[in-house]
């Protein structure tokens, strides 16, 4: 696990944007796993900027989103389909047929999840998966106690997750209780995992993810077992790490070709 601590979320998102741009330039038909929520918004701004100002071509890129609420139509104001379209897809040249987001209105959820897994395999697997981490350590909507070998499936949201996400809804009663999410095993299959965490409210989860034991109680901790996990933090999110000075020293003293 590579820990990169930068002064703020803007700089962290710029570094993340460069990592993704470098991947697409090297592999134009890259497969990206994408996340929603407030954390990746600045990252998507950087991706849009790379497309509009530097000509980064998304025409051969395929994407798979981590999750979606069950029971929300695609055009619902809080759906992840709408979120992704407004904040990224409508502003880059990615073909609609290359975009994959779990269907929250699927009639047969179990079958839909199996088909989603199969589509990832058919696409050649995910080259880079964008991640955030919940305040309770969840990845995607893989809540604490989720199997570390889990695949795409239905999950019941933890009350803390519903509380954290109610800001995206008109009132707390509208927050769904269920979702479709990629499993932790699915996330671990990605060739690179790129996780962002910003803000003091993520500091405890980050400390448990990076320095705690690998445990289903902190699903993010499984990234300790991934061969290429990159964790980009701001100072606030990194504030509870016991080895913070070491992580900064390592990044500062990398060979020039390894620095993003």
Residue-level pLDDT at 167? 86
Catalytic residue chosen out of the listed positions 68, 127, 143, 189: 143
Predicted local confidence at residue 58, as pLDDT: 98
Q: What is the structure's pLDDT at 145?
A: 95
pTM for the model: 0.95
Give the whole-angstrom CA distance, residue 91 versus residue 204: 35
Q: Using DSSP bridges, classify how beta strands 178-181 and 67-69 pair: parallel, antiparallel or unpaired.
A: antiparallel
What pLDDT does 163 receive? Answer: 86
- Are the C-beta atoms of 233 and 4 separated by less than 8 Å? yes
The closest alpha carbon to 93, from 28, 189, 149, belongs to 28
Measured CA to CA in angstroms, residue 92 lies from 14, 47, 50, 111, 246 at distances of 17, 8, 9, 31, 38
Residue 158 annotated among the catalytic residues of the structure: no
Conformation bin of residue 168: beta by default, left when phi > 0, alpha when psi is -120 to 50 = alpha
Q: Which of 46, 67, 68, 234 is catalytic?
A: 67
Sign of CA dihedral 137, 143, 149, 150: negative
Return d(Cα 189, Cα 40) in angstroms, integer: 21
Among the listed residues 14, 136, 189, 234, the single catalytic one is 136
Domains and CATH numbers, the chain: 2-258 (3.40.50.1360)
Residue of 138, 164, 226, 234 marked active site = 138
- Sheet holding 153-156: strands in order across? 67-69, 178-181, 153-156
Q: Is 189 a catalytic residue?
A: no
User: Is 143 noted as a catalytic residue in this protein?
Assistant: yes
Q: Residue 229: its pLDDT value, please?
A: 98
Question: Any catalytic annotation for residue 136?
Answer: yes
User: How does pLDDT run along the chain (260 residues), one tens digit per residue?
Assistant: 999 999 999 999 999 999 999 999 999 999 999 999 899 999 999 999 999 999 999 999 999 999 999 999 999 998 999 999 999 999 999 999 999 999 999 999 999 999 999 999 999 999 999 999 999 999 999 999 999 999 999 999 888 888 888 888 988 888 899 999 999 999 999 999 999 999 999 999 999 999 999 999 999 999 999 999 999 999 999 999 999 999 999 999 999 888 88
């Amino acid at each position: 696990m590579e820990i990169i601590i930068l002064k703020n979320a803007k700089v962290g998102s710029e570094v993340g944007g460069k990592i993704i741009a470098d991947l697409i330039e090297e592999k134009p038909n890259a497969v990206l796993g994408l996340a929603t929520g407030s954390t990746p918004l600045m990252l998507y701004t950087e991706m849009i900027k790379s497309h509009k100002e530097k000509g980064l071509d998304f025409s051969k890129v395929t994407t798979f989103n981590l999750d979606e609420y069950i029971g929300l139509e695609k055009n619902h104001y809080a759906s992840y389909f709408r979120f992704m379209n407004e904040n990224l897809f409508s502003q880059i040249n990615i073909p609609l047929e290359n975009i994959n987001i779990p269907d929250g209105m699927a009639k047969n959820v179990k079958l839909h999840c199996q088909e989603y897994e199969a589509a990832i395999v058919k696409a050649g697997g995910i080259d880079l998966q964008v991640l955030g981490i919940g305040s309770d350590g969840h990845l995607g909507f893989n809540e604490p106690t989720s199997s570390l070998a889990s695949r795409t499936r239905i999950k019941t949201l933890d009350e803390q997750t519903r509380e954290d996400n109610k800001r995206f809804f008109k009132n707390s009663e509208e927050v769904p209780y269920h979702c479709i999410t990629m499993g932790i095993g699915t996330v671990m299959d990605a060739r690179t995992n790129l996780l962002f965490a910003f803000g003091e409210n993520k500091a405890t989860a980050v400390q448990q993810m990076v320095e705690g034991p690998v445990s289903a109680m902190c699903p993010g901790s499984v990234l300790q077992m991934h061969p290429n996990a990159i964790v980009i933090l701001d100072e606030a999110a990194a504030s509870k790490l016991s080895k913070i000075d070491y992580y900064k020293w390592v990044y500062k003293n990398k060979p020039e070709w390894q620095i993003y």
